[in-house]
């Protein structure tokens, strides 16, 4: 399991640990990693539940209680996040991005992306992908805060309260 198990913000770890055995929590974290893995064929929620040693319905209930969203919601969010990165950082067409994140229908992918992001994949790509491949990098709003803190970026450049927020960088 890479990086350990992180719970949603606001989750009281003491309450979760009293409710759930540490070994079961570890299995749920591993299951979350399986759901997020989009490199190969995505596995079904039922298969992930079986791999976790739980029935499908019990797995879904526990997953939602621990992570704050259902396995399906989590996978959809992971697919959209990966799609954002691919749309900005690669030369892939929107159809290729759709396939790369596990969708076989461009309409379903575009609809989900639009609902989650507030704009179509093509609009997102036009707005955030620079014309030059050398300039391609993720906008600060798409980089998790923990990674920004670990980077060697000076405090003045990225954490100053006096800097205005560029509305185009908000996603």
Residue-wise pLDDT tens digits, 120-149: 999 999 988 876 555 555 555 555 555 445
Q: Identify the pLDDT of residue 64.
A: 93
Burial class (CB in 10 A: 0-12, 13-18, 19+), 18: exposed
CB 89, CB 71: distance < 8 Å: no
Q: Measuring CA to CA, which residue among 132, 48, 118, 40 is closest to residue 80?
A: 118
User: pLDDT grade, residue 159 (50/70/90)?
Assistant: very low
Rounded-to-integer distance, Cα 123 and Cα 6, Å: 32
For residue 150, the SS3 value is helix
Residue-wise pLDDT tens digits, 57-91: 999 999 998 899 999 999 999 999 999 999 999 98
* pTM for this predicted structure: 0.65
């Amino acid at each position: 399991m890479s990086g350990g198990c992180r719970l949603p913000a606001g989750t009281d770890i003491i309450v979760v640990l009293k409710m759930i055995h540490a070994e079961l929590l570890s299995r749920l974290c591993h299951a979350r990693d399986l759901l997020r893995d989009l490199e190969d064929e995505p596995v079904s929620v039922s298969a992930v539940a079986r791999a976790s040693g739980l029935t499908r319905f019990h797995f879904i209930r526990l997953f939602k209680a621990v992570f704050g969203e259902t396995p399906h919601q989590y996978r959809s969010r992971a697919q959209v996040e990966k799609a954002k990165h691919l749309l900005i950082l690669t030369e892939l067409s929107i159809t290729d991005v759709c396939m790369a994140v596990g969708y076989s229908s461009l309409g379903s992918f575009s609809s989900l992306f639009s609902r989650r992001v507030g704009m179509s994949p093509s609009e997102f790509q036009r707005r955030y992908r620079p014309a030059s491949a050398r300039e391609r990098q993720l906008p600060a709003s798409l980089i998790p805060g923990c990674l920004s803190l670990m980077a060697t970026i000076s405090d003045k450049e990225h954490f100053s309260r006096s800097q205005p927020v560029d509305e185009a960088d908000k996603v």
